[in-house]
Amino acid sequence: QERQSGRRRKRRRRSGDKKEKKKKHQRRRSSSSARDGREERQTKKRESSKKQREKHFKERTTERNEEEAQTSSVKATKTNKNINNEKTRKTKTAERETEKRNEKKMDKSPKTIERKESEGKNTDKSKERKKHKKSEEDKEEQEELDKEQEEVRSECLSPEELEKLKEAVDERKKLIQSLRVKPWPMKKKLVSLRESQEFVEKYEGALGKGKGRKIYAYKVIMTKKWMKFERDFENFKTTLIPWEMKIKEIESHFGSSVASYFIFLRWMYGINMILFCLTFGLVMVPEALMGRPYGSIPRKTVPRAEEASAMDFAVLWDFGGYAQYSVLFYGFYNNQRAIGWLKFRMPLSYFLVGVGTVAYSYMVVIRTMARNANESGIGDDNSFNFSWKMFTSWDYLIGNTETADNKFASITTSFKEAILEEQESRKDDNIHLTRFLRVLANFLVLCCLAGSGYLIYFVVRRSQKFALDGLENHTWWERNEVNMVMSLLGMFCPMLFDVISTLENYHPRVALQWQLGRIFALFLGNLYTFIIALMDEINLKRKEEMIVKYNITTWENSFNGTVSENSTATPISLHPADVPRGPCWETMVGQEFVRLIISDTMTTYITLLIGDFLRAVLVRFLNHCWCWDLEAGFPSYSEFDVSGNVLGLIFNQGMIWMGAFYAPCLPALNLLRLHISMYLQCWAVMCCNVPQERVFKASGSNNFYMAMLLVILFLSTLPAIYTIVTIPPSFDCGPFSGKNRMFDVIHETLESDFPVWFSKVFSYASNPGLVLPFILLMVLAIYYLQSTSKNYKEANVKLKKKLQMQNEENKKKNKRAALKAQMDLEEARKASSQQKHVSPRRHYYSKNGRNPAPPVGDRSLRRSAPRTYQHVNPGPPGYLPGLPRQSETRMHRVPSLQRH
Amino acid sequence: MGTTASQLGKELLSEYQELTFLTKQEILLAHKRFSELLTKDEKDLPNTKVSMERILTLPELKSNPFRKRICHVFSTSEQKDGSLTFENFLDLLSAFSDSATLEIKSHYAFRIFDFDDDGTLDRGDLEKLVNCLTGETDDTRLTPEEMRQLIDNILEESDIDRDGTVNLSEFQHVISRSPDFVSSFKIVL
pLDDT of residue A90: 44
pLDDT digits (tens, 9 = 90+) for B60-103: 888 888 888 888 888 887 777 878 888 888 888 888 888 888 88
Q: What share of chain A is helix, strand, coil (3-state, %, to 5)?
A: 75, 0, 20
Residue A279, pLDDT score: 93
pLDDT at A76: 38
DSSP state, A156? -
How far apart CA A450 and CA A471 sit, in angstroms, is 29
Is the separation of the CB atoms in A94 and B107 below 8 Å? yes
Kindly determine whether residue B187 and residue A396, on different chains, have CB atoms separated by under 8 Å.
Answer: yes
Comparing CB atoms, the residue among A180, A807, A853 nearest residue B18 is A180
Task: Identify all chain B residues contacting A860, using CB atoms and an 8 Å cutoff.
Answer: 155, 159, 162-164
The pLDDT of residue A36: 46
For residue A408, the chain B residues in CB contact (below 8 A) are 65, 133-135, 137, 140
pLDDT-derived band at A198 (thresholds 50, 70, 90) equals confident
Q: What is the pLDDT of residues A763-807, one digit of tens each?
A: 888 888 889 999 999 999 999 999 999 999 899 889 888 887 887
The pLDDT, as a whole number, for residue A44 is: 47
Rounded to whole angstroms, how far apart are CA atoms A173 and A194?
12
Q: Whole-angstrom Cα distance, residue A48 to residue A40?
A: 13
* DSSP bridge pairs for A339: A344
Supply the pLDDT for residue A276. Answer: 94
Chain B nearest CA to A44, separation (Å) = 19
pLDDT band at A83 (very low <50, low <70, confident <90, very high): very low
pLDDT at A62 over 60: no
Higher pLDDT, A558 or A681: A681
To test the contact with chain B by mutation, choose from A88, A386, A420, A859 the residue with the greatest count of B C-beta atoms within 10 A, namely A386
Distance CA A414, CA B52 (A): 31
Contact B133 A807 (CB under 8 A): no
A638-639 and A689-690 strand pairing: parallel
Q: What percent of chain A has a predicted confidence (pLDDT) above 70?
A: 67
> What is the DSSP secondary-structure string of A682-739?
HHHHHHHEE--SS---HHHHHHHHHHHHHHHHHHHHHHHHHHHHHSPPPSSSSTTTTS
Write out pLDDT tens, residues A557-594. Answer: 776 665 555 444 445 567 777 777 888 888 988 988 99
Q: What is the rounded distance in angstroms from the CA atom of residue A16 to the CA atom of residue A147? A: 10
Cα-based distances in Å from B99 to A573, B21, B173: 70, 6, 20
Average pLDDT over residues A461-467: 76
Task: Give the residue from B145, B162, B168 with the most A CB atoms within 10 Å of its CB, the best one to mutate.
Answer: B162
How far apart CA A95 and CA B155 sit, in angstroms, is 22
C-alpha distances out from residue A110 to A5, A56, A107, A882, Å:
11, 18, 8, 22
Q: B113 vs A391: CB contact, 8 Å cut-off? A: yes
Q: Tell me, rounded to whole angstroms, the distance of Cα A851 from its chain centroid.
A: 39
Nearest CA in chain A to B60: A399
Q: Is the pLDDT of residue A98 over 70?
A: no
Beta-strand relationship, A338-339 and A344-345:
antiparallel
CB count, 10 Å around CB of A390? 27
Residues A189-204, mean pLDDT to the nearest whole number: 79
Q: Do A394 and B184 touch (CB under 8 A)?
A: yes
Question: Is there a contact between B150 and A386 if contact means CB atoms under 8 Å apart?
Answer: yes
pLDDT band for position A694 (50/70/90)?
Answer: low
More confident residue, A110 or A660: A660
Predicted local distance difference test score (pLDDT) of residue A357: 92
Task: Give the residue among A606, A614, A613, A596 at the shortest CA–CA distance from A676.
Answer: A606
Burial class (CB in 10 A: 0-12, 13-18, 19+), A412: buried
Q: Give the pLDDT score at A572.
A: 57
**Which residues in chain B land under pLDDT 50?**
1-6
Please check whether residue B62 is in contact with residue B10, taking contact to mean a CB–CB distance below 8 angstroms.
no
CA distance A389 to B153: 11
Q: Where are the alpha helices (DSSP H) in A280-306?
A: 285-290
pLDDT at A471: 60
Quick check: helix, strand or coil at residue A344? Answer: strand
Q: A131, A123, A130, A132: which is closest to A845 by C-alpha?
A: A123
Smallest CA–CA separation between A378 and chain B, in Å?
Answer: 7
Mutate to test the interface with A, among B28, B160, B169, B184 (most CBs of A within 10 A): B184
Structure-model confidence comparison of residues A539 and A898, the more confident one: A539
> Residue B138: its pLDDT value, please?
66
pLDDT at A892 over 70: no
Q: Does residue A92 surpass a pLDDT of 50?
A: no
Q: Which residue of A has its CA nearest to B187?
A: A397
Cα dihedral A375, A381, A383, A388 in deg (nearest 10):
40
CA distance B32 to chain A (A): 16
Question: Strand, helix or coil at A638?
Answer: strand
Angle between helices A642-659 and A346-376 (to 10 degrees): 150
Inter-chain Cβ pairs, chain A and chain B, closer than 8 A: 238
Query: CA A326 to CA A319: how far, in whole Å?
Result: 10
In chain B, residues with a C-beta closer than 8 Å to the C-beta of A234 are 23
B contact test, residue of A57, A72, A87, A93 with most B CBs within 10 A: A93
- Which of A48-57, A605-614, B22-31, B135-144 comes out lowest in average pLDDT? A48-57
Q: For residue A375, which residues of chain B lie inside 8 Å, CB to CB?
A: 179
Whole-angstrom CA distances from A405 to A51, A256, A260, A461, A700 are 46, 15, 20, 52, 22
Among A374, A387, A856, the strongest candidate for a mutation testing the B interface, having the largest count of B CBs within 10 A, is A387
- Annotate A55-105 with three-state secondary structure: HHHHHHCCCHHHHHHHHHHCCHHHHHHHHHHHHHHHHHHHHHHHHHHHHHH
Task: Select the highest-mean-pLDDT range: A348-352, A461-465, A684-688, A825-829.
Answer: A348-352
pLDDT at A841 over 90: no
Residue A338 has phi, psi (to 5 degrees) of -130, 135
Q: Angle between the A110-122 and A46-60 helix axes, to the nearest 10 degrees?
A: 20
State residue A43's pLDDT score. 46
pLDDT the model gives residue A282: 92
Q: Is the pLDDT of residue A521 over 60?
A: yes
Q: What share of chain B is helix, strand, coil (3-state, %, to 5)?
A: 60, 0, 35
Highest mean pLDDT among A48-62, A337-351, A635-649: A337-351
User: Which A residues, 216 through 255, put their C-beta within 8 Å of a C-beta on chain B?
Assistant: 228, 231, 234-235, 238-239, 248, 251-252
Report the run of H or E that residue A831 belongs to, with start and end: helix A768-831
Would you say how long chain B is, in residues?
Answer: 189
Measured CA to CA, the distance from residue B84 to residue A818 in angstroms comes to: 43
What pLDDT was estimated at residue A50? Answer: 47
For residue A319, pLDDT over 50 is answered with yes
As a whole number, the mean pLDDT across chain A is 72
Q: Do B59 and A399 touch (CB under 8 A)?
A: yes
Specify the DSSP class assigned to residue B84.
Answer: B
Q: ipTM of this predicted complex? A: 0.85
Q: What is the bridge-based pairing of β-strands A344-345 and A689-690?
A: unpaired
Q: What is the DSSP letter of A662?
A: T
* Cβ count within 10 A of residue A411: 23
Residues of A in contact with B108 (CB under 8 A): 183
Give the mean pLDDT of A598-612: 87
Q: What is the pLDDT of residue A363?
A: 94
Alpha-carbon torsion (A430, A433, A438, A441), positive or negative: negative
The reply to whether residue A401 touches residue B62, judged by beta carbons under 8 angstroms, is yes
Chain A hits for B141, CB-CB cut-off 8 Å, are 412
For residue A349, what pLDDT is reported?
Answer: 92
CA A175 to chain CA mean position, Å: 29
Output the pLDDT for position A269. 94
Mean pLDDT score, A530-543:
85
Residues 6+ apart with CB under 8 A from A735: A330, A333, A334, A335, A346, A347, A350, A351, A745
CB pair distance less than 8 Å for A411 and B110: no
Cβ–Cβ of A390/B60 closer than 8 Å?
no
Query: Within A608-641, where are the H helices?
Result: 615-622
Chain A residue nearest residue B73, CA to CA: A90
Distance CA A377, CA A371 (A): 10
